Amino acid sequence: SQTIHQWPATLVQPVGSPLSLECTVEGTSNPNLYWYRQAAGRGLQLLFYSVGIGQISSEVPQNLSASRPQDRQFILSSKKLLLSDSGFYLCALGGKGRYGYTFGSGTRLTVV
């Protein structure tokens, strides 16, 4: 069965520090992968999605970037965090032709 791993679960980082969040999947190949952000009490904001290695589409301009160095690995990064980057970050897995998503457990990022 397909599984998705996301870490860390919580992270407190100072303003101006770098960020790297990792998401890995198992039990599938060539999946679509997505990064979402959720502000407190708000909806799901799509940040990036990837349909294959090295293929990244950005949905909103921001202080973040994404990379997909391997088929089952999706990384969210920032060179310098802003206070506004705080939020709950979710990675999701969707197979081509498989409409539903499987979400990771999320990372709570607090920028101080």
- What are the residues binding another protein (CB under 8 A)? 6, 32, 34, 41-44, 46, 49, 51, 90, 94, 96, 99-106, 108
Q: Show the tokens assigned to 8.
A: 């860390």
Closer CB to another protein, residue 17 or residue 54? 54
Q: In the complex, what is the shortest distance from the CB of residue 3 to another protein, in angstroms, rounded to a whole number?
A: 12
Preceding omega of 18 cis (within 30 degrees of 0): no
Furthest-apart CA pair in the chain: how many Å?
41
> How many residues belong to the chain?
112
Q: In the complex, what is the shortest distance from the CB of residue 20 to another protein, in angstroms, rounded to a whole number?
A: 19
**Half-sphere exposure (Cβ direction) of 22: Cα atoms closer than 13 Å:** 8
Closer CB to another protein, residue 16 or residue 52? 52
